[in-house]
């Protein structure tokens, strides 16, 4: 079909929209996506069986609850970050810790503590490496923010997240830490493993079809919020991870790879009390 023929059909479809009904925003978005889809089907000569394969694929992906994962894997979530960065730049809001994607695995309501939290339940402490992190929450003028809320979540040694992985205890590797009077927070956990999309799932099917992998480097997620401030959504990565700059979700950014201190000296570990559970 020619473009004018396609445009004729699109006009016919749009003409069935009642002026006083629905929302103008929904109409604009749906009509635009439909136009781009019709043009794509025409330009790439997509066959009916391919369209129905796609419809069935989407049905399955929804049943698998994988749309959030697909949005990450297609770079849609990262694209939204780049757009928010641009908006802030235009408004003259520069500096601070870079944002990066939330991903689909946050769970609200993790146990809250003041200043410090141990967020691992201890089940993997023997196999894993103990991990400490500390930081300071600052406002735009670099003043510490007491009572800021730092929410942290990450995967276990198998790359799985509690709640989604029902074999883990509730809120394992998730915590809510309120900064102390100096804006500081600390937590103890175990170093997470990288993440891989569920084997046999819809995201994997899509990535395989375009010759991509579905792996993320090891990472820890953060929400940082305080009254009167925009909420920061970000992550950290660990230097040396083979997937550090090959994340299927495109989330790695300069400024989000903090310096690590590795302590292997058993005496030092004992000296600092790191061999014992924190209370
Ligand atoms: C994750 O752990 C994640 O952070 C993202 C963005 C996608 C899938 C799994
Ligand atoms: Fe994650």
Tens of pLDDT along 24-66? 999 999 999 999 999 999 999 999 999 999 999 999 999 999 9
Catalytic annotation present for 243: no
* DSSP symbol at 231: P
Q: Which atom of ligand 1 is nearest to the CA of 102?
A: 6
Neighbours of 157 (CB within 10 A): 14
Catalytic annotation present for 106: no
Would you place residue 279 in the very low, low, confident or very high pLDDT band (cuts 50, 70, 90)? very low
The residue whose CA is least distant from atom 3 of ligand 1 is: 103
Taking the C-alpha atoms of residue 42 and residue 167, their distance in angstroms, rounded to an integer, is 48
The residue whose CA is least distant from atom 2 of ligand 1 is: 195
73-271 CATH: 2.60.130.10
Tell me the domain boundaries of the chain: 1-46, 73-271
Q: Which two tokens stand for residue 231?
A: 């909420």
72 lines ligand 1 (CB under 6 A): yes
Catalytic annotation present for 78: no
Taking the C-alpha atoms of residue 59 and residue 29, their distance in angstroms, rounded to an integer, is 21
Would you put residue 115 in left (φ > 0), alpha (ψ -120 to 50) or beta?
A: left
Residue with tokens 């694929």: 57
Q: What is the pLDDT of residues 152-185, one digit of tens each?
A: 999 999 999 999 999 999 999 999 999 999 999 9
101 lines ligand 1 (CB under 6 A): yes
How far lies 18's CA from each of 6, 21, 24, 93, in Å?
A: 21, 5, 10, 42
Taking the C-alpha atoms of residue 68 and residue 76, their distance in angstroms, rounded to an integer, is 10
**If you measure from the C-alpha of residue 105 to the centroid of ligand 1, how many angstroms do you get, rounded to a whole number?**
7
* Most ligand 1 atoms within 8 A of CB, residue of 105, 213, 235 to mutate: 105
Kindly tell me if the per-residue pLDDT of 119 is higher than 60.
yes
Longest distance between any two alpha carbons in the chain, whole Å: 78
74 lines ligand 1 (CB under 6 A): no
Distance of alpha carbon 139 from the chain centroid: 23
Catalytic annotation, pick one of 78, 174, 219, 253: 219
103 lines ligand 1 (CB under 6 A): yes
Catalytic annotation present for 213: no
Would you put residue 79 in left (φ > 0), alpha (ψ -120 to 50) or beta?
A: alpha
Q: Nearest 5°: phi and psi at 92? A: 75, 15
Catalytic annotation present for 154: no
Q: Are 125 and 190 in contact (CB under 8 A)?
A: yes
Q: What is the pLDDT of residue 270?
A: 75
Catalytic annotation, pick one of 161, 174, 188, 253: 161
Helix runs in the chain, H state only: 3-14, 24-43, 48-63, 67-73, 76-90, 202-209, 266-271
**If you measure from the C-alpha of residue 62 to the centroid of ligand 1, how many angstroms do you get, rounded to a whole number?**
17
Q: What is the pLDDT of residue 276?
A: 57
| ipTM for the whole complex | 0.97
Residue with tokens 């830490």: 177
174 lines ligand 1 (CB under 6 A): no
Catalytic annotation, pick one of 154, 174, 216, 253: 216
């Amino acid at each position: 079909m020619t473009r004018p023929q396609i445009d004729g059909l699109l006009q016919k479809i749009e003409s069935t929209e009642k002026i006083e009904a629905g929302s103008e925003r929904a109409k604009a978005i749906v009509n635009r996506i439909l136009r781009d889809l019709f043009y794509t089907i025409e330009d790439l000569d997509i066959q009916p069986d391919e369209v129905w394969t796609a419809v069935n694929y989407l049905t399955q992906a929804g049943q698998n609850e994988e749309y959030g994962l697909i949005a990450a894997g297609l770079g849609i979530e990262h694209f939204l970050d780049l757009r928010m960065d641009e908006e802030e730049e235009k408004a003259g809001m520069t500096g601070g810790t870079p944002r990066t994607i939330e991903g689909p695995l946050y769970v609200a309501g993790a146990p809250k503590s003041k200043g410090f939290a141990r967020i691992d339940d201890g089940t993997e402490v023997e196999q894993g490496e103990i991990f400490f992190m500390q930081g300071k929450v600052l406002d735009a003028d670099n003043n510490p923010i007491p009572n800021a809320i730092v929410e942290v979540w990450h995967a276990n040694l198998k790359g799985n997240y509690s709640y989604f992985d029902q074999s883990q205890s509730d809120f394992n590797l998730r915590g809510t830490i309120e900064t102390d009077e100096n804006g500081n927070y600390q937590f103890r956990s175990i170093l997470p493993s990288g993440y891989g999309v569920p084997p046999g799932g819809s995201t994997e099917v899509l990535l395989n079809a375009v010759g991509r992998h579905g792996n993320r480097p090891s990472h820890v997620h953060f929400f940082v919020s305080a009254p009167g401030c925009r909420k920061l959504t970000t992550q950290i990565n660990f230097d040396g991870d083979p997937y550090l700059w090959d994340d299927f979700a495109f989330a790695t950014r300069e400024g989000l790879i903090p310096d690590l201190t590795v302590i292997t000296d058993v005496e030092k570990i004992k000296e600092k009390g790191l061999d014992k559970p924190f209370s």
